[in-house]
């Protein structure tokens, strides 16, 4: 019997409109999960994340944004104001979910999993600021992370995403 590898599919997240979204809806996709904020020095990365999505232009690649107010209270917006800000100011078309906590006593279960090697079986990397990025393979498994200063359009991120997308084509 094969031991199952921990993945993100058991988790549910809340959409901006309040509906629950199971992450199993993103099965068989390479995913970049990013904690975002509208008033951060890294906020221009929202536009770069959308450019990355457009450049890779593959239906098997998705970016998921999770706004948080955990760092410097840099996400004062709530609900539909967050998605409107992302879309109007940065052209974001990828899913942006409801505001969550990514650290501390009330951290969202998804981020508990992503940041703790005991849970994800791969890496320990708690977000230290906004725009910390986690890379998930097509099996829903955490494979890497990138610090906020790693720009979405960096060759480091592009190459790793392309490599994960191309594994099925070889």
Residue 124 resides in a domain = yes
40 classed as catalytic: yes
pTM of the predicted protein model: 0.95
Q: What is the arithmetic mean of pLDDT over 107-134?
A: 96
Do strands 30-36 and 61-67 pair parallel, antiparallel, or not at all (unpaired)?
A: parallel
DSSP for 64-125? Answer: EEEE--TTTT-----THHHHHHHHHHH---S-BB-----SSTT--HHHHHHH-HHHHSS---
Residue corresponding to tokens 């991120």: 157
Q: What is d(CA 23, CA 111) in angstroms, rounded to the nearest whole number? A: 13
Residue 111 resides in a domain = yes
- Structural contact between residues 128 and 98, judged by C-beta atoms closer than 8 angstroms: no
Residue 6 resides in a domain = no
Residue 16 resides in a domain = yes
**From the candidates 37, 40, 142, 164, which is the catalytic residue?**
40
Residue 102: CATH number of its domain: 3.40.30.10
Domain count, the chain: 1
Instruction: Please tell me the predicted confidence (pLDDT) of residue 47.
Output: 98
Query: Residue 168: which pLDDT band, with cuts at 50, 70 and 90?
Result: low
Express each pLDDT in 123-160 by its tens digit.
999 999 999 999 999 999 999 999 999 999 999 999 99
Instruction: Please tell me the predicted confidence (pLDDT) of residue 1.
Output: 41
More confident residue, 128 or 4: 128
Structural domain harbouring 146: 12-169
């Amino acid at each position: 019997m094969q031991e199952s590898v921990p993945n993100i599919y058991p988790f549910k997240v809340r959409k901006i409109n309040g509906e629950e979204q199971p992450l199993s809806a993103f099965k068989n996709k390479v995913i970049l999960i990013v904690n975002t904020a509208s008033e951060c020095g890294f906020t221009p990365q929202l536009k770069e994340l959308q450019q990355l999505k457009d450049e890779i232009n593959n239906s098997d690649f998705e970016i998921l944004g999770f706004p948080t107010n955990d760092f410097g209270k840099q996400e004062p917006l709530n609900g539909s104001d967050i998605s409107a800000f992302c879309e109007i100011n940065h052209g974001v078309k990828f899913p942006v979910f409801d505001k969550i906590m990514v650290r501390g006593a009330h951290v969202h279960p998804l981020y508990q999993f992503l940041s703790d090697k005991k849970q994800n079986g791969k890496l320990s990397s708690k977000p230290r600021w906004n725009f910390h990025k986690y890379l998930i393979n097509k099996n829903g498994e955490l494979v890497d992370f990138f610090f906020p200063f790693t720009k979405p359009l960096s060759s480091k991120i592009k190459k790793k995403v392309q490599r994960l997308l191309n594994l099925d084509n070889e």
